[in-house]
Chain A
Amino acid sequence: MLEFYSNVIVGGLLLGAVYALLATGLNVIFGVMRMVNFAHGEMVVVGMYVGYGLWAWTGVPALAAAPIAALLLFGMGYLFQRFVANRFVEAPQHMQFILYIAIALIITGLHAVFFGPDPRGIQSAASFEVYQLGMIRFDAVRTQAAVASLLLVAALWAWFRFSLTGKAIEAAAENRVGGQAIGIRIPHLFALTAGLGFACAGAAGALVAPMFDVQPYLGGEFTLVAFIIVIVGGLASLPGALVGGLLIGLAEALAATVVAPSMKSLFSYGLLVLVILLRPQGLFGKVEG
């Protein structure tokens, strides 16, 4: 029993680390810019296809595909924000929702048209590898993905904290007019932010590709998980995204064990409802003024 539960917990935490990367990306877009990015999950799926595609054509493992996916999605995010989404920064939220839902539908449809709707899995020897530490089994693929995710999240934190551009973005998000007054180029900064957010999603997708078979319709699930983590953890809070990600990963694993695997999202949604009603700023967020 101990072996069973400890392995389940470890598995959940490892997945949670990847969720943290996913949520950090959304946090950057939704938390900082307040753009309701309902297409975040689809960006993850793009990353998954990049990961799968590179493996299928060149045999390159997921870890190497992650930076490529991140770069591609950074470009997509930057361009999209700069030329389309920037117009919606001040728009009513339901308009933003519709914009992103439209993008999500188009991307999902394009995936289905170009890659077909069938699930595609990376079947390599690595998918069977396991690191054994006493009675704990560390699934090789999950462990690598978790480590990579944590490194990326830490790198992003550091950048926001210490770089001039990073601080400028936070300043601009908090006070747009003030930011413009002191010369911060808002459209460019926001585009940069969106690029970073999408890049996180893409990297998370490439890392996850060896774990889950990729198919065009996974986007919605990832989007919802990302929103749950961002809200539970706290908007615009990077520690919130990390803790939230680990928490949700763990919660899903335990719910799967204790209740039933197919009910694992029950806990996450229940938590979301409670947080929205009782503590909308989440665990680490600041109360809205």
Chain B
Amino acid sequence: MLEMRSARLAVLLLAVLFAGPWLFDDFELSVLTLVFLFASVGMAWNLMMGYAGQLSLGHALHFGAGAYAMGLMITKLGVSAWFGLPLAFAVGALFGALVGALGFHFAVRGVYFALLTIAFAELARILVEHWAFAGGNGGLFLPALTPDNQPLVSLRGDAGFFYHALLITLAAIWLACALLVRSRIGYYWRAVREDEDAARAIGVPATRVKVLAVALSAGFTGVCGAWYALIQGSLFPDSVLGMRMSIDLIIAPIVGGLGTLFGPILGAIVIQSLNELSKDLAQEFSISGLKLIVYGAVLLAIVLFAPHGIWPPLARWLRIGGRK
């Protein structure tokens, strides 16, 4: 009953949002597009944090891998961008599986696992910074859009196009996560999360299942990275593979709510709004660093007063169920 209600709500929201380009101006559309992007990555990251139970502070690795996969494909091979999406998924998932397999095989936990993910992301960043083929530190630039550009072929268009594209991506990832969680894999994940030893005892292939969680999380993140490349039109290793990006990617799901499906979306909305607000204030008064103070303050407030995020109390207030 409760799930039906939240599903119907989601569909309604989706329909309303689809009308976006006729309701908002270009700037608002691009802000919302970023909201959808970060919400999607947030949900993907949540998969790993919530179900493999491991904190990844190096998710920029998968994001950047997907972004560069798409970027290189377009600039070097000149193939349609459509092929870039599955490639980005595959590349992201590959790195995810690598990190997961190494980590779980060597029983790396907690802080150490987080540091491992950071190390891999930093290694990738340094290597790409020196990879002349990918433009190195100087950056990779997608060619300018020609006047006869077909958005459905090149997957690049105006603000309205990207808005719809990311909305569909968000819905697709949301659906995928929801289905996975309710599937047998989802049951295994929950069993492993509750008590790994007991799960193993009843025959759950715990390590393989955890690696799957990490790989899927990374794959979805890679696809989002690919979209980021298409939207930005240019890629720089220290922005797309850097520690700052890793932190940006996880703020939304933490603020919204770990282990929930709506949490990352809510978190992304909150964070992007604060982002825009602080940017405006910063320009107005010529202060830089305001955004960081706001992010830090919000995270601090969350960790002190609402460690499970904003969504659970909000959901209770709205009387919608479906926490997991």
Residues of chain A whose beta carbon lies under 8 Å from any beta carbon of chain B: 30, 36, 84, 93-95, 97-99, 101-113, 116-117, 216, 220, 224, 227, 231, 260, 262-263, 265-266, 269-270, 272-273, 276-278, 280
- The majority secondary structure among interface residues of chain A is helix
Q: How far is the CA of A108 from the CA of B120 in the complex (A)?
A: 24
Taking CB atoms, residues of chain B closer than 8 Å to A95 are 303, 307
**Which residue of the partner chain, among B116, B122, B293, B302, contacts A276 with CB atoms under 8 Å?**
B116
| Known A-B contacts A273-B119, A277-B102; A231 and B112 likewise in contact (beta carbons under 8 Å) | yes
Contact A98 B292 (CB under 8 A): no
Give the distance to chain B from A111, nearest Cβ to Cβ, in Å.
7
| Known A-B contacts A105-B299, A262-B130; A111 and B111 likewise in contact (beta carbons under 8 Å) | no
| Known A-B contacts A93-B55, A97-B57, A276-B115; A112 and B123 likewise in contact (beta carbons under 8 Å) | no
Contact A113 B300 (CB under 8 A): no
Contact A266 B293 (CB under 8 A): no
Contact B243 A220 (CB under 8 A): yes
B60 at the A/B interface (Cβ < 8 Å)?
no
A sample of 20 more A-B contacts (CB under 8 A), given A113-B289, A262-B137, is A36-B111, A93-B55, A95-B307, A101-B299, A102-B296, A102-B297, A102-B299, A102-B300, A105-B247, A105-B292, A105-B295, A105-B299, A109-B290, A109-B294, A110-B289, A112-B288, A117-B289, A269-B123, A272-B116, A276-B115
* 3 nearest A-B pairs in the assembled complex, by CB-CB distance: A112-B289, A105-B296, A109-B292
B204 at the A/B interface (Cβ < 8 Å)?
no
| Known A-B contacts A98-B254, A109-B291, A272-B119; A266 and B126 likewise in contact (beta carbons under 8 Å) | yes
Give the distance to chain A from B319, nearest Cβ to Cβ, in Å.
28
Contact A97 B114 (CB under 8 A): yes
Q: How far is the CA of A109 from the CA of B110 in the complex (A)?
A: 27
Contact B300 A106 (CB under 8 A): yes
Taking CB atoms, residues of chain B closer than 8 Å to A102 are 295-297, 299-300, 303
Contact B55 A113 (CB under 8 A): no
B270-312 contacts to A, CB under 8 A, are 287-297, 299-300, 302-304, 307
Give the distance to chain A from B122, nearest Cβ to Cβ, in Å.
5
Q: How far is the CA of A190 from the CA of B296 in the complex (A)?
A: 24
B106 at the A/B interface (Cβ < 8 Å)?
yes
Contact A98 B129 (CB under 8 A): no
Q: Which residue of B lies closest to A114 (CB)?
A: B289
Total residues of chain B contacting the partner, CB 8 A? 43
Give the distance to chain B from A42, nearest Cβ to Cβ, in Å.
10
Give the distance to chain B from A255, nearest Cβ to Cβ, in Å.
11
Give the distance to chain A from B235, nearest Cβ to Cβ, in Å.
18
B31 at the A/B interface (Cβ < 8 Å)?
no
Among B126, B129, B296, which residue has the most Cβ atoms of chain A within 10 A?
A: B296
Taking CB atoms, residues of chain A closer than 8 Å to B180 are none
Q: How far is the CA of A185 from the CA of B322 in the complex (A)?
A: 44
Q: How far is the CA of A107 from the CA of B296 in the complex (A)?
A: 9
Contact A106 B293 (CB under 8 A): yes
| Known A-B contacts A97-B114, A101-B247, A231-B115; A265 and B292 likewise in contact (beta carbons under 8 Å) | no
Contact A273 B116 (CB under 8 A): yes
Q: Which residue of B lies closest to A117 (CB)?
A: B288
B131-153 contacts to A, CB under 8 A, are 137
Contact B111 A108 (CB under 8 A): no
| Known A-B contacts A93-B111, A263-B130, A270-B123; A106 and B116 likewise in contact (beta carbons under 8 Å) | no
Taking CB atoms, residues of chain A closer than 8 Å to B304 are 84
Q: How far is the CA of A224 from the CA of B244 in the complex (A)?
A: 13
Among A98, A113, A216, A231, which residue has the most Cβ atoms of chain B within 10 A?
A: A98
Q: How far is the CA of A98 from the CA of B301 in the complex (A)?
A: 11
Can you list 19 A-B contacts (CB < 8 A)?
Answer: A36-B111, A84-B304, A93-B55, A97-B57, A101-B299, A102-B297, A109-B295, A110-B289, A113-B289, A224-B118, A231-B115, A262-B126, A262-B137, A263-B130, A265-B126, A269-B119, A272-B116, A273-B119, A276-B115
Taking CB atoms, residues of chain B closer than 8 Å to A262 are 126, 129-130, 137
Taking CB atoms, residues of chain A closer than 8 Å to B247 are 101, 105
| Contact flags B253-265 to A (C-beta < 8 A → 1, else 0) | 0100000000000
Contact A276 B112 (CB under 8 A): yes
Q: How far is the CA of A109 from the CA of B292 in the complex (A)?
A: 5
Contact A276 B119 (CB under 8 A): yes
Contact A280 B292 (CB under 8 A): no
Q: Which residue of A lies closest to B130 (CB)?
A: A263
Contact B292 A106 (CB under 8 A): yes
